[in-house]
Amino acid sequence: MCRLFLIAPRGQARNGANNVGNASLSFLAYALAVVVIFNFSPSVAWRQFILLASSIGFLGFFSHQPAAFVPLAAFLLFGFVSLRLMQAGATRLFVPLLIVGIIAFAWFKKYAFIPPSLFLHYPYVTLGLSYILFRVLQLIIDARSRSATLLAKVSLVSYLNFTLNFTTLVSGPIQRYNQFASMQLAPDPLALNLIVAGQALHRVIVGFFKVNVLSPLLLWIHTNALHSLPPVQTSAARVLAIAAAVAVYPFYIYCNFSGYIDIVIGIARFLRIKLPENFNRPFSSRNYLIFWSRWHITLSTWLQIYVYAPLMLAGMRRWPSRATEPLLNIFALFVTFLLVGVWHGQTSAFILFGLLLGLGVSITKAYQVLMTKCMGLERYTEVSRYWLYGAAARGLTFLWCAFTMLWFWSNSTELRSVARPVRAWEIALAWIVILAGASVILALWESIREWALSFQFEDQPALASRYFRTVWDTALVVISIATITLLNAPPPDIVYKRF
Amino acid sequence: MERLDNQKRSSTSEITTLPKRDYFLLPLLSFLTILVMLGASEIFTRLIWVQHKSYACVIEDPVEGDRFKPNCTERTKLAEGPWVTYSYNECGYRSITSCGPKPAGAIRIAITGSSMSQALHVPYEDTFFDRASRDLANRCGRPVDVQNLGVPGLSPIYAYRRIPEALALKPDVILYLVNPFDLEQKILPGELAERDNPTRVSSTLAAKIAPNPLRDLEHLLIQSRTVLVAQHFIFQNRETFIRTFMVYGDRADFLRQPFTPAWQQRFSDFDVILGSVAEKARAAGVPLVIVPVPSRVEAALLSSPQLPPHVDPFAFGREVEAIAAKHGVSYLDLMKPFGSIPNAENLYYTVDGHVQSDGHKVIAQELVRKLLEGSVPAFSHCAPRPSAERSQ
């Protein structure tokens, strides 16, 4: 199970870790303290020092044993030395360093293909290592590339701030170094006025609500649906339970992950850093390729730059023909998304997850190529614009997304166990229900959204006005506080109310 | 979203300072939102989840303990439960028969204890004692008369003081229902020694009378229907209910092993009280049966696949059983039948915590089984329960 996407409820339940690493009130309190201290002085040295101290302090919440940080420190040191070697022109070490880095990552993360006897057999912190890997690889590749524009030499403090930034450490987003350095190392930090602060606070509130209210609610629906599958139920109830369990999970992951991202984007803005967006209404996507350009955007962008593009380039050099280009494209997409899946977890279930992702994008691309060839680009584009086509395409995209995510909350053995009390035709019907339901509900949602945005106030949609946002945010805060309080306060004991 | 985001961005770039009116308007909007949310949710939940309390039949007595007015009837409704009519006979007992001399040929059961005994929030015909009396009457071929002396909040020391009153009814058996909440009620040093001289105000009642702003605030929250409805749904989830209940310290310590000194003291006090009750009952030649009724959290733990560390749902019952055995008192174990029911926590009102009708049915079945076992002579001639029925 991927630990990186699951920020609050399952993470807490699984490892019983402290609350600071999550989108919790403790995390917000810590971030608030950092924000206040960080904004004492606009000087670069002060900002660098506070960000580094707060990131190290943040890590300190996860273990009080210095030895637990040795693997992480070793990996970071390896990254920094590799970066310096590339900047010094030792480009022949490029491939060996990349291979060593990836193997070290897999070793520390205990990937299933490595014999367990080789693992380090003491508890150590790997928090954020998956994201650190991307940042380190990115620095090494960019430093080696002649076309790269790394801002001068990366100092150790900048390197550590970039790789360990506590706002992006746990679950991203994956920022580019140049982007980070242009803000963090700029003599004049990004402006932070009342309007910006209000917008940043809005992101924090929305994210907090998603993680702490919507996520647990959706997870509760998902779990209850799974628990209501025993054979004593009617067929209709079983079909609905399967459909609910499968269809609700992507929304749960979305609320959990995008909520966390909202929070860290908001907090980082108070730290004068603009983090890249990671989600853009993924469930409104009309095909699986678009879905992945709207879901975990920084991951797909990273892979597009560092995996897909080099693969395409190498393929085109090897087979420089227009006829092979679509095939190369499909192949490059497949490999890229296979890696996306493998990166998500250490077990073989994630290889299957990657294969399904790769299959999804490859088939989508092949379909696009085929339709363009058969109908012509203009006609195909026109057909794609039909409302009914759009609704069905959205439903199908969601269906595939929900299907691939089965391997997020389960593995093949567990899925077989869940499906045991259910007949094959009931499972098939459940998928049809999901497809039909998603097509209708997502289309309705799009229409309602369009209608809601049509109301204008001060030359912008009324929903985006600060007045509406104030009301909305207040409501979310009230609901969030009430939910957290009720979920953590003891239930009423028998109180002799009458007396 | 792109449109929304683009417009947000463009508006951000255009506006860098708030208009002056916004310094007043935005906080006001926020404040009004909170007011409207709280008000609307409270009105809505009060309309849907009706609750009606009545104190019309209560006689407050800080010395002898509260009791009910003779020949009084009142109707109440718990938000989570049905309308319930409470009718009290000429002695102020929740019974449909007279508390006068035992009718010829009848078997009489006297019940004492707190709200669980009185069957708070449960319609009369669904109560464990009415179900059991009907069943026993069928099996014994004789009328079974129940006199219920139970009063909500009646702590063990007050229950003890009601024993002479119960014995005066010439019952064939006395049932004493007890649960962890009864034992929680504090007994001051000296109060136990003076248990036969109820001349001073009980510490429990004194605490109720003393002003306490924090408790007033807590009561205000308890009375919020929105909170109640939210809790009703939240605590239907067993794991959440158990996790949050274990947040309690002392109040949840009856579940934790080993018992804390405070709970050891409570059991020690209860030992003294039950010993005295048993002594009086024995002197009058009346069998006494003690019935520890599981609390909702104990029932939830019985259905839970995994127990929190050091938590033992059987601990309270085991301790009471040991005390009962020490004084030669019969003991009715309800943990086993409750444990055999999946999701036994659903036998209770989720927030209120009292046993509801389905739970009373289980208690009635077990009570009948116990009384027909032979430990109570009055029932020795009655037909035992068929095994098939027992397993239902």
Judged by CB atoms closer than 8 Å, whether chains meet at A488 and B8 is answered as no
- CB-based contact (8 Å) between B11 and chain A? yes
Query: Most confidently modeled of A408-412, A432-436, B216-220?
Result: A432-436
Confidence of residue B1 (pLDDT cuts 50, 70, 90): very low
DSSP category for residue A127: T
The pLDDT, as a whole number, for residue A73 is: 95
Q: Which residue has the higher pLDDT, A491 or A176?
A: A176
Please state, for a pLDDT cut of 70, what percent of chain B lies above it.
Answer: 89
Judged by CB atoms closer than 8 Å, whether chains meet at B222 and A467 is answered as no
Give Cβ neighbours of residue A262 (< 8 Å, ≥ 6 apart): A203, A204, A206, A207, A210
Q: Which residue has the higher pLDDT, A296 or B305?
A: A296
Q: Which residue has the higher pLDDT, A221 or A494?
A: A221
Distance from CA of A473 to the nearest CA of B (A): 8
Tokens describing residue B149? 């002396």
pTM for the full model?
A: 0.82
- CB-based contact (8 Å) between B158 and chain A? no
Region B156-166: mean pLDDT is 92
Interatomic CA distance for residues B5 and B173, integer angstroms: 76
Of B55, B247, B351, the CB nearest to A492: B351
Distance from CA of A194 to the nearest CA of B (A): 7
- CB-based contact (8 Å) between A115 and chain B? no
B-chain residues near A488 (CB < 8 A): 244, 247
pLDDT, averaged across chain B: 88
Distance from CA of A73 to the nearest CA of B (A): 35
- CB-based contact (8 Å) between A499 and chain B? yes
A-chain residues near B351 (CB < 8 A): 491-492
- CB-based contact (8 Å) between A494 and chain B? yes
B-chain residues near A486 (CB < 8 A): 227, 230-231, 234
Confidence of residue A497 (pLDDT cuts 50, 70, 90): very low
Q: Residues of B numbered 306-365 whose beta carbons fall under 8 angstroms of chain A's beta carbons: which are they?
A: 351-354
- CB-based contact (8 Å) between A452 and chain B? no
Judged by CB atoms closer than 8 Å, whether chains meet at B17 and A474 is answered as no
- Checking if the pLDDT of B368 tops 90, the result is yes
* Chain B contact probe: residue of A14, A293, A493 with most B CBs at under 10 A: A493
Region A8-14: mean pLDDT is 35
Interatomic CA distance for residues B221 and B50, integer angstroms: 17
Region A448-466: mean pLDDT is 92
A-chain residues near B355 (CB < 8 A): none
Confidence of residue B336 (pLDDT cuts 50, 70, 90): very high
Distance from CA of B141 to the nearest CA of A (A): 38
B-chain residues near A482 (CB < 8 A): 230
Region A412-435: mean pLDDT is 88
Of A191, A458, A498, the CB nearest to B58: A498
The pLDDT, as a whole number, for residue B24 is: 95
- Checking if the pLDDT of B210 tops 80, the result is no
Measured in degrees and rounded to the nearest 5, phi and psi for residue B164 equal -60, -40
Interatomic CA distance for residues A349 and A338, integer angstroms: 12
- CB-based contact (8 Å) between B233 and chain A? no
- Checking if the pLDDT of A102 tops 70, the result is yes
Domain extents in chain B? 58-390
- A316-328: pLDDT as tens digits: 999 888 888 999 9
- Checking if the pLDDT of A192 tops 70, the result is yes
Region A99-126: mean pLDDT is 90
- Checking if the pLDDT of A483 tops 50, the result is yes
Confidence of residue A494 (pLDDT cuts 50, 70, 90): low
A-chain residues near B342 (CB < 8 A): none
The pLDDT, as a whole number, for residue A432 is: 97
Q: Which residue of A has its CA nearest to B32?
A: A471
The pLDDT, as a whole number, for residue A247 is: 96
A-chain residues near B241 (CB < 8 A): 491
Of B11, B53, B351, the CB nearest to A460: B11
- A358-398: pLDDT as tens digits: 999 999 999 999 999 999 999 999 998 899 999 999 999 99
Weakest mean pLDDT among A37-51, A212-226, B15-29, B192-206: B192-206
The pLDDT, as a whole number, for residue B204 is: 52
A-chain residues near B4 (CB < 8 A): 453, 461, 463-464
A-chain residues near B59 (CB < 8 A): none
- B27-71: pLDDT as tens digits: 999 999 999 999 999 999 999 999 998 889 999 887 778 899 999
- CB-based contact (8 Å) between B241 and chain A? yes
- Checking if the pLDDT of B292 tops 90, the result is yes
Q: Residue A129 corresponds to which amino acid? A: L
Judged by CB atoms closer than 8 Å, whether chains meet at B1 and A466 is answered as no
Of B30, B53, B244, the CB nearest to A474: B30
The pLDDT, as a whole number, for residue A249 is: 95
The pLDDT, as a whole number, for residue B100 is: 93
Judged by CB atoms closer than 8 Å, whether chains meet at B234 and A486 is answered as yes
For A115: left if phi > 0, alpha if psi spans -120 to 50, otherwise beta; the answer is beta
Distance from CA of A496 to the nearest CA of B (A): 6
Q: Which residue of A has its CA nearest to B15?
A: A195
CATH 3.40.50.620 applies to domain B58-390: no
- CB-based contact (8 Å) between A488 and chain B? yes
For residue B290, what are the β-bridge partners?
A: B176, B331
- CB-based contact (8 Å) between B25 and chain A? yes
For residue B41, what are the β-bridge partners?
A: none
Region A135-141: mean pLDDT is 93
pLDDT, averaged across chain A: 88
- CB-based contact (8 Å) between B199 and chain A? no
The pLDDT, as a whole number, for residue A200 is: 96
Of A464, A475, A488, the CB nearest to B4: A464
Confidence of residue A493 (pLDDT cuts 50, 70, 90): low
Report cis status (omega within 30 of 0) of the bond before B313. no
A-chain residues near B237 (CB < 8 A): 220
DSSP category for residue A211: I
Kind and range of the H or E run holding A47: helix A44-60
Tokens describing residue A436? 């039909």
The pLDDT, as a whole number, for residue A150 is: 63
- Checking if the pLDDT of A19 tops 80, the result is no
Judged by CB atoms closer than 8 Å, whether chains meet at B251 and A490 is answered as yes
Confidence of residue B392 (pLDDT cuts 50, 70, 90): very low
Interatomic CA distance for residues A77 and A83, integer angstroms: 10
B-chain residues near A453 (CB < 8 A): 3-4
* Chain A contact probe: residue of B2, B10, B11 with most A CBs at under 10 A: B11
- Checking if the pLDDT of A449 tops 70, the result is yes
Interatomic CA distance for residues B237 and A261, integer angstroms: 29
Q: Which residue has the higher pLDDT, A150 or A13?
A: A150
Judged by CB atoms closer than 8 Å, whether chains meet at B114 and A496 is answered as yes
Confidence of residue B386 (pLDDT cuts 50, 70, 90): low
- B173-203: pLDDT as tens digits: 999 999 999 998 877 777 777 777 766 555 5
Of B34, B231, B234, the CB nearest to A478: B34
Region B290-304: mean pLDDT is 94
3-state secondary structure chain B: CHHHHHHHHHHHHHCCCCCHHHHHHHHHHHHHHHHHHHHHHHHHHHHHCCCECCCCCEECCCCCCCEECCCCEEEEECCCCCEEEEECCCCCCCCCCCCCCCCCCCEEEEEEECHHHHCCCCCHHHCHHHHHHHHHHHHHCCCEEEEECCCCCCCHHHHHHCHHHHHHCCCCEEEEEECHHHHHCCCCCCCCCCCCCCCCCCHHHHHHHCCCHHHHHHHHHHHCHHHHHHHHHHCCCHHHHHHHHCCCCHHHCCCECCCCHHHHHHHHHHHHHHHHHHHHHHHHCCCEEEEECCCHHHHHHHHCCCCCCCECCCHHHHHHHHHHHHCCCEECCCHHHHHCCCCHHHHECCCCCCECHHHHHHHHHHHHHHHHHHHCHHHCCCCCCCHHHHCC
**Per this entry, what is the length of chain A?**
499
- Checking if the pLDDT of B320 tops 80, the result is yes
Q: Which residue has the higher pLDDT, A22 or A443?
A: A443
Of A459, A491, A499, the CB nearest to B245: A491
The pLDDT, as a whole number, for residue A10 is: 34
- B76-113: pLDDT as tens digits: 999 999 999 999 999 999 999 999 999 888 999 999 99
- Checking if the pLDDT of B5 tops 70, the result is no
Confidence of residue A12 (pLDDT cuts 50, 70, 90): very low
Q: Residues of B numbered 121-140 whose beta carbons fall under 8 angstroms of chain A's beta carbons: which are they?
A: none
Q: Residues of B numbered 282-301 whose beta carbons fall under 8 angstroms of chain A's beta carbons: which are they?
A: 295
CB pairs under 8 A between A and B: 116
